[in-house]
Chain A
Amino acid sequence: QVQLVQSGAEVKKPGSSVKVSCEASGGSFSRYAITWVRQAPGQGLEWMGAIIPVFGRVYYAQKFQGRVTITADDITNTAYMELGSLRSEDSAVYYCARGDDPGDYAINYDYWGQGTQVTVSS
């Protein structure tokens, strides 16, 4: 049974950075893309990007290009999403997610982390 466990809530100042982790268990880690999706209060879901650890390939939504960095550590089976130059509009719940199709990031998501609340406030 695949499980994704994310790091805890964060409160950050505008202009700073936040790094959220996502530890996977219960299956192969490196063959499957880990995707990051965020949800602002009362809003829909927004795809930020994905990483396929076995290929070392990372894909970003253009909106976040230059501001987000997604990495993965296949020793600890943990993926990370770092978002910089934070502003109040980045306050949201950030989710990691994974599908059941190895080697591809453009997929549906069968497994989700519990979400990490990031609050940006001065």
Chain B
Amino acid sequence: DIVLTQSPGTLSVSPGERATLSCRASQSFTSYLAWYQQKPGQAPRLVIYGASSRATGIPDRFSGSGSGTDFTLTISRVEPEDVALYFCQQYGTSPLTFGGGTKVEIK
């Protein structure tokens, strides 16, 4: 199984600052990598798919990049509504797997 390791566990940023979330895979795979945002008590919401494509309705301050084993989600200017848990998911190899998540909080 492909293990996805996310870092940091918690990211504390001030409004307007940049947030960089990392997702590292235990083995290389094609860019079938997605990012999800989950707010408390809600289901996950797709943010990025194909490593770098924004999902419908996602603001352009969210961007994804990376390939192989290293992927990044960047929030260029964090806003209070971005406070959430963010998960990466690989869907290139079965079983599909998720990272452990990064919590983004506001300073």
B43 engages A113 (CB within 8 Å): yes
A45-B87, A95-B43, A115-B43 as given contacts; A106 in contact with B98, CB under 8 Å: no
A62 at the interface (CB under 8 A from B): yes
Bitwise, B20-49 to A at CB < 8 A (1) or not (0) is 000000000000101010000001111001
Bitwise, A21-42 to B at CB < 8 A (1) or not (0) is 0000000000000010100000
A11 at the interface (CB under 8 A from B): no
What range describes how many residues of B lie at the interface? 20 to 34
Taken together as a complex, chains A and B put the C-alpha atoms of A112 and B95 apart, in Å, by 19
Taken together as a complex, chains A and B put the C-alpha atoms of A106 and B50 apart, in Å, by 12
Taken together as a complex, chains A and B put the C-alpha atoms of A35 and B36 apart, in Å, by 16
Query: A54 contacts which chain B residues (CB < 8 A)?
Result: none
Nearest A residue to B85 via CB reads: A44
A47 engages B43 (CB within 8 Å): no
A47 engages B44 (CB within 8 Å): no
Query: B87 contacts which chain A residues (CB < 8 A)?
Result: 44-45
CB-defined A-B contacts under 8 Å, sample of 5? A44-B101, A63-B95, A106-B96, A108-B34, A109-B34
Residues of B within 8 A of A (CB): 32, 34, 36, 43-46, 49-50, 55-56, 87, 89, 91-101
A-B complex: 4 closest residue pairs judged by Cβ atoms? A112-B43, A108-B34, A45-B98, A108-B49
